[in-house]
Amino acid sequence: MWDNIMVLVAAPVFSVQLVLDGLFIGATFALAAYGLALVWGVMNVKNLAQGDFVIAGGYIAWWLGKQGIHPLWGLPAAIIIMFAFGWFIYVTIIRRVIDKDLFTSLLATFGLAIVMAQGLNLMFGPEVQTAESDFAIRSMWDNNLTIAEIKVLAFVLCGILAVMVVLFMKRSRMGQAIRATAQDARAARVMGIDTDKVYAFTYSLNAAICGAAGAMISMIWVIQPFYGISHSIRSFVIVTAAGFGNLPGVIMAGLGLGVVENLGGFVFGAEFQQAIVVGLLLVVLVWRQIQQRKLRQVVS
């Protein structure tokens, strides 16, 4: 571990590489986490199938690539298909758990995650897959820093998507209805907002956002039917750390997680990379709890 830190000190270019890679992948984490924040904030559903939506989106892009269509087209395709899929899941499952206690939604979506992972496995097989974008890889400092163009592109696309979602929330009728419902569902119903439709739209939007994140991940990382759970955990880490209804916070936390994961993997050794993510989840939860304690004491 100490040696690894020394390497970074001796050759800072590698920390640049690690941080950049972390940021590129962190952008997709942030996107998926924003979807979770939406669903959590608006309808109070903790969606544990988040990661499986991501992976499903990834498979859409990969499958198109297999058919000879450029996987970038997988981005709009994943958005559309996952939106429809989200609507279907809402109507069949989520609608019925919204008014139940929180644990119900957690467990129901866990069941959904199991079904999805196995469904993807049956459809596409269990191999690790990647969608080839065939874009160039740029390098500088005699190959010590390599940047794949597709990563930059994915990063930019994530940014554009985030901006679009924000504008949509601010400007459109539906966006306003979603925000109103999040603030006070009953009042929204009184004012004539069809909350059921709002919920359906929110959940579908989340699925679409995850699908988009997944399409990028398939091009810049790797996908496999059973990787869903780790993406779900990442989303939870980010949302718990940033709180929901706080888009800048989610983006920062997402990018930060990507970087921490990468640097941690370098410094502690790759075997700790997964443990770091889960460990962070625990740390964030405990930290939140301490904050709450303080609040409680202030009140009493």
Q: Report if residue 129 touches another protein, rule: CB under 8 A.
A: yes
**Residue 160 neighbours by CB under 8 Å, 6+ apart:** none
Angle between helices 228-242 and 273-299 (to 10 degrees): 30
The site that binds another protein (CB under 8 A) totals a number of residues, namely 80
- What backbone torsions phi and psi does residue 148 show, to the nearest 5 degrees? -80, 130
Q: Report if residue 229 touches another protein, rule: CB under 8 A.
A: yes
Q: Report if residue 102 touches another protein, rule: CB under 8 A.
A: yes
Distance (Å, whole) CA 155 – CA 270:
24
Distances in whole angstroms, Cα of residue 84 to Cα of each of 70, 79, 115, 211:
22, 9, 17, 11
Site residues (CB under 8 A) for another protein, limited to 30-59: 46
Nearer to another protein, 195 or 261 (CB): 261
Instruction: Tell me which of 110, 152, 174, 245 binds another protein, using CB under 8 A.
Output: 110
Site residues (CB under 8 A) for another protein, limited to 160-219: none
State in angstroms the smallest separation of the CB of 18 from another protein.
Answer: 6
Q: Report if residue 226 touches another protein, rule: CB under 8 A.
A: yes
Q: Report if residue 230 touches another protein, rule: CB under 8 A.
A: yes
Instruction: Tell me which of 178, 182, 210, 263 binds another protein, using CB under 8 A.
Output: 263
CB 112 within 8 A of CB 232: no
- Helix or strand (DSSP H, E) at 72: none
Instruction: Tell me which of 5, 125, 172, 191 binds another protein, using CB under 8 A.
Output: 125
State in angstroms the smallest separation of the CB of 160 from another protein.
Answer: 23
State in angstroms the smallest separation of the CB of 284 from another protein.
Answer: 9
- Write b or e for each residue in 81-113: b if 16 or more Cβ atoms lie within 10 A of its Cβ, otherwise e: bbbebbbebbeebbeebbeeeeeebeebbbebb
Q: Report if residue 221 touches another protein, rule: CB under 8 A.
A: yes
Neighbours of 50 (CB within 10 A): 30
State in angstroms the smallest separation of the CB of 229 from another protein.
Answer: 7
